[in-house]
Amino acid sequence: MSPTLERTDRPFNVSSTSDVRLRHRLKVVEDLWESVLRQECGQQMVDLLHELNPMQAEGGQAPNLKDSPVVRKIEQLDLNDAIRAARGFALYFQLINIVEQHYEQRDQQKANVSNNLTFTEESISRVESPSEEFSELTTGSVQTPERGTFGSLFPQLRQLNVPPNLIQKLLDQLDIRLVFTAHPTEIVRRTIRGKQRRIARVLRQLDRVEDGLHSMGRTSSLEAEALQEQLMEEIRLWWRTDELHQFKPTVLDEVEYTLHYFTEVLFDTLPQLYQRLQRTLKVSFPHIDPPSYNFCKFGSWVGSDRDGNPSVTPRVTWQTACYQRNLVLEKYIHAVDSLSESLSLSLHWSDVLPELLESVEQDRLQMSEVYDRLAIRYRQEPYRLKLAYVQQRLENTRDRNLSLYHSEDWRQQIREVKSLPVYRSGSEFLAELQLIQRNLFETGLQCSELDTLICQVEIYGFNLAHLDIRQESSRHEEALNELTDYLQILPKPYSELTEAERVEWLTQELQTRRPLVPTELPFSPITKETIETFRIVRLLQQEFGTELCQTYIISMSRQASDLLEVLLLAKEAGLYDPATGTGTLQVVPLFETVEDLKRAPSVMKDLFELPLYQVLLTGGYGREDSSDTPLSPSLQEVMLGYSDSNKDSGFLSSNWEIHKAQKALQAVSEPYGVKLRIFHGRGGSVGRGGGPAYEAILAQPGRTIDGRIKITEQGEVLASKYSLPELALYHLETVTSAVIQSSLLGSGFDDIEPWNETMEELAHKSRQHYRSLVYEEPDFIDFFMQVTPIEEISQLQISSRPSRRRQGKKDIGSLRAIPWVFSWTQSRFLLPAWYGVGTALNDFLQEKPEEHLKLLRYFYMKWPFFKMAISKVEMTLAKVDLQIAEHYVRELSHPEDRDRFAVILDRITEEYHRSRELILQITGHTYLLDGDPGLRRSVQLRNSTIIPLGLLQVSLLKRLRQHGKSATPGVIHSRYSKGELLRGALLTLNGIAAGMRNTG
């Protein structure tokens, strides 16, 4: 198989050593892949894959597939051969991903070294003064720091004369939160991820060996050959491993899978992020203090997100919290053990302050067994003795935590007082480490290993990640309806009250100290579970501290009562005190559909008008200083959903409504003195708000960020951003840089009213055209169900959550956004991420062709929001393959439906060509992605080789769907069971997901 990089509508110029290395490594891995298939399947299979692969026409898309000999060949394949071919292509894609990620990480490491070389006063002055000298500098040994890095940001702020006091103020309040979710788009098994990491490690070793050989003028060595043999062995083991999940994962399986990114990468990466920011800041602004250690924090929905997932129970959430604490405690135990090896200071040669000796004496009284065991060994080494006590206390804490995890009655067990000394919180552990740090400092010493551990404890505490609770708004309404009906305290059912009546009653109940919910719960299982959720949050806060779980997200929020209902249920669990007006749980609305986004400002205004809610935000009655309150003072978090709004309204309309909502929410909150933290519910794909985080953050209205942002990270995004340390560090650095840059250097273009009016018109027309197809075309739902693998996707064992909000309904509204996008990606339409954009742009240009084209080009150059939107559409269009999409329609449509489906396909095809042509006109590009060679290379790397995998999927889907029906010419189905056919189809889903790199 020839390297796919060469198959393109325009040659890709090799302009860097990295590109040459990438091509070389792709060739090496490709040869190993072929050798493995030859050994495992024979030369005939390798020949078959070569025969299926050379299928590409202009633009990287498939040629006309009608009556293609390759299609006929695939239709005639034995099922076993079809499955092996699909596995072969899927393995190839994942190997490409590993190589590409490896070289992305290598480039980032080189860039970081270059940035460190550049961080001198002389180099900064050169960066600030473009000249011929600067031109020579960038082509010489010292390079310009990459855009989006600290090495680029801080010199830029200095060049622009941004006042240091503004930078300091922003850094003091810098608050970046990244939240991991378990949404069902991560299709790769954890077992396979482990093999991928091992292959990446071998590639790094091979690079080092080959670099050494190159410096000596040699081309081979026994060590390099041994490493290539090791690669071959890893690939063979991978080939014999099942790619499909063996069973539907439990929620705790998802917890374990998601949190392994912390153990493998993030635990050590976040301190490096802080150190990198500290070093680069000091060069440009030596008198500005860096932010707190924990300016970047992680949260998680895994094990706490209940929306549509009945498997997330109070016990599961409790076990999740215990699991997280156990993971971080194990990390600390290992770190303290390692630190003890370093801090071997002897009383003969180093002074020790009295407070450390006093602390050791207190520990001796509490842990005499440690003293008896180690006093003689460490009699002259007080730091080691102190750390032995610390380690024992950590181990006691871990053992107690494990008993809480396994206990059937954890409520009772947490009330029991244990005699063994334990740490009740991360702050107690931190105080001991800071004691050691002070003693070292006062005696003229510093220990970087200790500093790193202190940084980790500041960031992770004993909880590792914050847990957000999420539930749909209707669940709280149903619970209160049942509760009030049981108590007979309303003149009519709660569900029949008007919004004004609900707010009035809820406000009254929130101010009374009388309990509303009885201790025993004589209610339906759903209502009992809803009430128990609040009770478990109370227990979590008592055991783990309020910081673990203090956010309750209400999906499908539509009115103020949705938030007050949650606050009332929180009050009944002791999470809100009507006497003081304080609470330990923040209610967070999630506005998802376009209509909800439009209502969001008025909903929040209604809340801010309520005296009770104002008091809650400011920290309670009669409190001038709210700095010591459990919740951040005068801060309201609001979550905006990209997925459902996109499914509801299309890409352009969704993104514009979210953009407008942020500005409107900011305008509403300011008069009340309320600070906002916008929580962006982004997915991995463009159709769910995904795309490069740096550009996305810069495209937000600047004043809405103000140093605070919260973003979901989910599905395949976790693997692409966090599987390798340098990639994770680079991603976190670009996110942080973007937040600082957007907060300090807002463009102001968002406030130009004529531009907003133009964007409003484009969004409206785009929404109209999108909905005319998706919601108003009567044949569209049948088209979607037949020509995409939506039904088969629902049978993938990749998530504990159902794919539909309401089971049994076959409509777009009840379908979750993730399988919606996943299906269109598999069939190469990628429709949610671009449909409607071309018509909106065309209608606008038709009014005044030259003038409006010039205006849109100016938008693209100057307006970050517009450039981000156009760039995302351009990236998506580059991945669309209409020939493959047409093949899905032609082969998977029922014969009686082909004529009516052809009309829909024609509409989609026409809109694609219209969108592509206008995007190229606006960007000034000759080809899609001309402006981003790296991304263009990545897309080119996959587009052609994924074609035969799509053809294999269509063939297997057709056989599966025809199973048991009358024979169809050219279709082999009767020899195999439905289970075998389904397995083959699911394997192709895995392969295409790997090839596309983002799915849902």
Q: Which residues are the active-site residues?
A: 183, 647
Q: Any alpha helices (H) in 512-650, and if so which ranges? A: 525-544, 560-572, 594-609, 611-618, 642-649
Q: For the packed helices 79-118 and 121-128, what is the interaxial angle rounded to 10 degrees?
A: 110
- The string of DSSP letters for 264-310 reads IIIHHHHHHHHHHHHHHHHHH-TTSPP--TTSEEEEE-TTTB-TT-T
Burial 104-130 (b: 16+ CB within 10 A, else e): bbbbbeebbebbeebbeeebbebbeee
The C-alpha atoms of residue 281 and residue 736 are separated, in whole angstroms, by 13
The C-alpha atoms of residue 911 and residue 922 are separated, in whole angstroms, by 16
Q: 931 to each of 42, 371, 734, 925, how far by Cα in Å? A: 43, 66, 19, 7
Provide the 3-class DSSP secondary structure of residue 610. Answer: coil
Locus of tokens 């004496």: 361
The C-alpha atoms of residue 342 and residue 92 are separated, in whole angstroms, by 45
Are 789 and 823 within 8 A, CB to CB?
yes
350: Cβ contacts below 8 Å, ≥ 6 apart: 443, 445
The C-alpha atoms of residue 293 and residue 270 are separated, in whole angstroms, by 9
- How far, rounded to the nearest angstrom, does the alpha carbon of residue 743 sit from its chain's CA centroid? 22
Q: Which two tokens stand for residue 833?
A: 């991420």
Q: Which two tokens stand for residue 12?
A: 């890709």
Q: Which two tokens stand for residue 517?
A: 């919910």
Q: Which two tokens stand for residue 654?
A: 């969704």
Residue type, 324: Q
Q: Are strands 576-577 and 582-583 parallel, antiparallel or unpaired?
A: antiparallel
Q: For the packed helices 121-128 and 267-284, what is the interaxial angle rounded to 10 degrees?
A: 80
The C-alpha atoms of residue 542 and residue 540 are separated, in whole angstroms, by 5
Are 893 and 902 within 8 A, CB to CB?
no
Report the phi/psi class of residue 827: left, alpha or beta, with left for phi > 0 and alpha for psi in -120 to 50.
Answer: alpha
The C-alpha atoms of residue 447 and residue 39 are separated, in whole angstroms, by 53
Smallest CA-to-CA distance from 344 within 431, 432, 447 is with 447
Locus of tokens 């894959």: 49
Sign of the dihedral through C-alpha 129, 135, 138, 141: negative
**32 beta partners:** none
Q: For the packed helices 753-774 and 898-923, what is the interaxial angle rounded to 10 degrees?
A: 160
Provide the 3-class DSSP secondary structure of residue 352. Answer: coil
The C-alpha atoms of residue 377 and residue 249 are separated, in whole angstroms, by 48
